[in-house]
Structure 1
Amino acid sequence: MSELALQFKNVSFHYENEPGKMPILQNLHLSIKEGEFVSIIGPSGSGKSTLFKLITGLEQPTQGDIFLQNKLAFNRLGEVGYMPQQDLLLPWRTIAENAGLPLEIKGMKKREAHRKVLELLEEFGLKGVEDKFPNELSGGMRQRVSFLRTILSGSRVLLLDEPFSALDAITRLTLQEWLLAQWEKRKETILFITHDVNEALFLSDRIFILTETPTCKLEEVSVPLERPRKLKDLNETKLIGIKEDLINQLRAKVTS
């Protein structure tokens, strides 16, 4: 039986300043296995970002418990890696200095952090840009730096919040393939927020759909594709019905 990387047990949540304190999550149960790649899709306002805030520890459940690696985790700040939509690279720090920031925060000396970053730059397609500044890199390259920084947080659970949404279509497809190769090599547990159904199908073992508020349960779809995958696999007949069903669920929520 696989170990669990993340678990919600009977989790409810509402924001204290909301009128009437309407719940966003209500008695939610959720289990993610070690090494899984799980995508979360849903329309804006369905609770995807709230889910991530609870996992990172930026918010605490109104009710229920959250477990990391089968241990009850009250203080989750710094225990999971987080990659936001925007890369948030510091413009006054070089690429190597930006990537090494999580190591410095954990107390590693700057020189040692720099050495550790240099060991990984080629693997992440960043060799030769370590002394450049963020404004000298393309959007795709900046997102590679952001993912490297997330990896260097040291967590086995990584939360990726629409990291490719601001990129052009070709760069986005290239980075999807690159991310999948990195995950298959490292096998961290990844939770990935996206609005793109194709992206979710290509990357994921399972897809969770948020379609109701408050969210009492997550609709779940297992992706019937073997690994390793190629983008052309999305054209397989067995995926067409799944894709249409996912789009229809999202569309029904937006138009309801």
Structure 2
Amino acid sequence: MPPVPSVPARRSSLLKGLTLALLAAAICALLALPRAGQAQALSIHVIQRADAQALVPVIRPLLPEGGYVNAYQGKLIIRTSSANFDEILAALGDMPEAPRTVSVHLRRRAGGETAGGGVRIGPGGVSAGAATVTRQRQDDYRINTLSGHAAAIGQGTLVALTGTQYPALMSLRQGIEVRPMLTGDGRVRLDIAQRFERPAGGGTAELQGAASTLMMVPGQWQPLGAITVTEDSAAAGLAGADRHSERLSLPLEVKVELEGQ
């Protein structure tokens, strides 16, 4: 029968076992800590940039091992670590985004109709007559500008206006002014204003205009609105009576296109 160990011997054995267990736990904890220089986790980051394709060769040398960068529809898709992504953002902060060229098209169809009639009393008796004149006209404008920059196109006429003590010279203009701005979803926010001014005869002028802001899908015509003017007049006297009616309609359509699409 083996001898029973004494109390001090049993206590020494327990302390030795506890020390070995603590040492093993410390070693496991050290092994679980990240090693110096160990590669960090990589994730996908997306940046909206109109010049994304041109930035790919600039960003590629900045990426860590296992990272990549691609360009797709005005976006940079970057696989990298969070720390490296912050470095890339800092580098791009010194590189202003290149604006895109936007073509703005405006189509305006001017349709007018003039109707007149009356009764005349003359030496030969009483005569009546009526006539209708229809007019059609289409104006097409196209202007290129950079995203975020205003542009205008038009034509002008200098006329002398009467009806005042001193005749005044007035510049009549026809044309458009636009300011396109690209949005993150690939559409174009378009601020547009148009003027349609022309002499009306008798030393007077017709002044018409419209201004609006639209969200445009590149390549699609979109109604901008319309200007409709109706004027009726009648006169009567000893020599007879006259009736005059005029209607002018200006429907407007606009389209934008992006360079390279």
When normalised by structure 2's length, the TM-score is: 0.17
* Higher share of residues assigned helix: 1
Tell me which of the two structures has the higher relative contact order, counting C-alpha pairs closer than 8 angstroms and 6 or more residues apart. 1
* Higher share of residues assigned strand: 2
When normalised by structure 1's length, the TM-score is: 0.18
